[in-house]
Amino acid sequence: MYEHHQRVIQRLVEQFKADPECQALIIGGSLVRGWGRPDSDIDVLILISEADFQRRMQTGNVLYFDKDICDYEGGYIDGKYMDVAYLKDAAERGIEPTRSAFVNAQIVYSTVPELADLIQQVARYPEHERESKIKAFYSELLLLKWFAGEAEKRGDRYLMTRTVADLVLFGSRLILAHNRILYPFHKWLLRALSEAPDKPAALMELTDQLLKAPTQAIATAYVDCLTEFHDWGVDFPQAVINFTRDRERHWRQGPPPIHDW
């Protein structure tokens, strides 16, 4: 974290310490992960009471943005109001991007005694989900490899673009899960992948080739690279079953992701 970020954070602390609503300030994002740039914004979670949070939810006033407090070019504060119940839910059943947001999180102000332990629980890799995720991600790769061939055969640019994006997503998530690294969402996916210690030697190069010039041949080489790296415990017939479950029948278990509405 750069000195000017630390200076602005201190100003933020002084400002919110005078706010009776504020119980804690937690800094997350790229700065605490060591991924920040001089012009990076500052991500902050503003912890408030459950009653205060519910009042804010009713009015939609749950976001905080401040550009004036920053004295460096391109800087701004990107904040969200939340309550302790949110952190407890995240520790119990949070998705990986939510958990990843708290990796190396810094508590810069707090009146909540158990906060440090709670954040540590949130940022912990969900080991109980690891095996099922690995099998699901690898199943995606085997079927997407086939879709790449279909896209090339049909000359369907949309299908190829979509297939390649999913190949990189699930191939990267497979390796992150293998290394017990939380998925930080799309913006930082390849950065996290580059830092994963145990991965195929050619994976980053193949990822770059696949994104720059997607073809069936490169998609095949990408999947084969991951197949040869480790026995993921899934053959093609089982992959079809898993793919069907996760892509076609998932809506029966709860609300589907937004891209499947």
Token reading at 125: 């890799």
**What is the pTM for the complete model shown?**
0.94
Query: What pLDDT score was predicted for residue 195?
Result: 97
Q: Strand 77-82 relative to strand 42-48: parallel, antiparallel, unpaired?
A: parallel
pLDDT score of 49 more than 90: yes
Residue 150 pLDDT > 90: yes
Phi-psi region of 153 (alpha: psi -120 to 50; beta: other; left: phi over 0): alpha
CB distance 181 to 169 below 8 Å: no
pLDDT at 257: 87
Q: What is the mean pLDDT of the chain?
A: 96
What is the layout of strands, in order, in the sheet containing 22-28? Answer: 63-66, 77-82, 42-48, 22-28, 106-110
1 pLDDT more than 90 = no
140 vs 1, which has greater pLDDT? Answer: 140
Amino acid occupying residue 28: G
pLDDT in tens, 209-237: 999 999 999 999 999 999 999 999 999 99
How far apart (Å, rounded) are the C-alpha atoms in residues 207 and 218? 9
Taken in order of first residue, the domains within the chain and their CATH numbers are: 3-122 (3.30.460.10), 128-260 (1.20.120)
pLDDT class of 69 with cuts at 50, 70, 90? very high
Q: Is the pLDDT of residue 60 over 90?
A: yes
pLDDT at position 112 over 90: yes
Q: How confident is the model at residue 50 (pLDDT cuts 50, 70, 90)?
A: very high
* 80 pLDDT above the threshold of 90: yes
- The pLDDT assigned to 41 comes to 95
For residue 85, what pLDDT is reported?
96
